[in-house]
Amino acid sequence: MADSFTTTDCDRPGTQGDNRVGYRASSNNAVEGGGVMDIGPVLRHLASPARLPVRSDIELAESISILAKQAKTKTAGTPYMKTPSPVAVASILQTRPADILRELGVATTFLTRSPFLSVSQHWAHVRYCATLEAGREQLMRLTSYASKDVVHHHKVTQSEQLGIGLALVVARAVLERRHPGWLFHVVDADVALRHGYVNDVTGRVGNKPGTNKRPDYFLIGWRRSGAQTKVRIAVLECKGTHGTMRQVYKQLADACLQVGTVAIGDHPMYGLMVASRLLRSGVSSYVLDPPGDDELWTGPTSDYDELLAEQPDELEWRARQQATQPDAADSAGSTAPSTPATAAATPTPPYVIPASHRSWLAQVMNRTVAASVLLFAGDSTTAVDYTSPRQRGYSSAMLPLEDTWPDTISAQVRMPSGPVLTGTSHLMPLNDGRTLEVFRGIDRRLHHDLKEGNLSRYARNAGWLRRWWNAARSRSRDTVSVGADGTALIIRVLDRRERPSRRRYR
């Protein structure tokens, strides 16, 4: 028989942390009541492997390039628009709907003072539980519910949100093939840029009035080899549509501009743009690579550990203005080989990180990753320690305040014969008396490292949980997704007939 997870309350000051309850998921999948979706098949679809077709070829790249240039001639000039090229990626990727939901959850979890933070995060997972499934030949597709019962204006939101999760799955596959053995972590672009830019992060950067043009995310990866550490970075633009291939092409053409708006000195950043088409007949993704430089930092591991222990300065840059004169090399690590400056007629992209601030950017990216995984697990108080005042919503003219942030971290889950996760759990009653539980969390040891401010140890060990789970996942009968950042999403049904006694968690 497959093992189940044990859930308990966390020990926290001011809570009833010593009274802990263990649950075992039911194997009964029936949900009573006419007209109500059966939760059992939904959870099975979430956990089932699905094959995602991916296209990236020269024909696609040339078509998108032509369309992007046509759009450029009809609107204001955008000479920093990048020319796309195909990437090396498998034509079929193996994933699961649960992995897409977890990617979406981590990527869209933000710091806020709202007391409804936990509810909104919970809803972000639950609302898309019944949207994706494996169809014939295990090819991913929309469920009948998602394709027929969702009205048009909700489909727009659905495609945008699922487009983020799908794009992250594809982007990781591209980057892990490009750099075998590397682990990459998602960083919201606006959140990261806010650490260095004043107000202009919300400004307009577009090829026509009324449009916002910036990439959605950065992906940062690091690898330690002996006494040396290398750090790489890429920008990512995510698209999604229920429409025709013409709409896919239009979205990719738009992305040619968005991935070109951020640079490091004279080096265009390596970028990926992914558009996904979501249909009942099948879900497919299209990915292109506007060429650029992905090397961010290289140097002794001891220097990098010291770098991560430091708090990066909050800078006062403005978009479209060169912050400082780019230097040839960073003071705490070497840069990629210099490339010739672009032609004088080519304007500077709106967001240029000086080459002398590569170390600063590596600090900001790592700290934003830490804040994201902590927020995913419900620990806003610790996440605040990894953010700047501007990222927390303060301006330089405001006096610093000691705010209380809403924490929802309140549960621990022991994985079958394995490690303990710390995080937040939501219970939702089902109409047959059972309960749906959604747990979001992080490896307890990684959480301890981040609470202690030991970002370098987190970086070294973040991928351990996923490696362990990949070898052990067959033991579980619950819906589980584990990420390379140490996060985990668990969705399961608690049986009304099997209420375990209270006991102290050990």
> How do strand 132-134 and strand 479-482 relate by DSSP bridges?
unpaired
CB atoms within 10 A of CB 213: 20
Percent helix / strand / coil, the chain, rounded to 5: 35, 25, 40
Q: How many helices (H) and strands (E) does the chain have?
A: 14, 19
- What average pLDDT does range 475-500 have in this prediction? 80
Q: Give CA 406 to chain center in angstroms.
A: 22
Query: How far apart are alpha carbons 102 and 212 in whole angstroms?
Result: 26
Q: Inform me whether the pLDDT recorded for 345 exceeds 90.
A: no
- What average pLDDT does range 284-298 have in this prediction? 92
Do 438 and 425 contact (CB within 8 A), yes or no? yes
Query: How far apart are alpha carbons 23 and 7 in whole angstroms?
Result: 6
Structure tokens at 501: 């006694």
The residue among 19 and 319 whose pLDDT is bigger is 319
Q: What is the pLDDT of residues 60-109, one digit of tens each?
A: 999 998 888 776 655 554 555 778 999 999 999 999 999 999 999 999 88
Per-residue pLDDT band for 332 (boundaries 50, 70, 90) equals very low
Question: pTM for the whole thing?
Answer: 0.83
Q: What is the pLDDT of residues 127-147, one digit of tens each?
A: 888 899 999 999 999 998 888
With a pLDDT cut of 70, the percent of the chain lying above it is 72
Query: How far apart are alpha carbons 281 and 298 in whole angstroms?
Result: 46
Q: Inform me whether the pLDDT recorded for 425 exceeds 80.
A: yes
Do 229 and 299 contact (CB within 8 A), yes or no? yes
With a pLDDT cut of 90, the percent of the chain lying above it is 45
Q: Inform me whether the pLDDT recorded for 12 exceeds 80.
A: no
Q: Which of 30-39, 197-206, 324-333, 409-418 has the lowest mean pLDDT?
A: 324-333
Closest C-alpha among 75, 369, 65 to residue 213: 75
Q: Please provide the average confidence, as pLDDT, over all residues in the chain.
A: 79
- What average pLDDT does range 258-277 have in this prediction? 89
Do 187 and 220 contact (CB within 8 A), yes or no? yes
> How do strand 351-353 and strand 435-443 relate by DSSP bridges?
unpaired
Closest C-alpha among 383, 408, 384, 388 to residue 398: 388
Per-residue pLDDT band for 202 (boundaries 50, 70, 90) equals very low
Q: 361 exposed, middle or buried (CB, 10 Å; 0-12, 13-18, 19+)?
A: buried
Residue 423: what pLDDT?
92
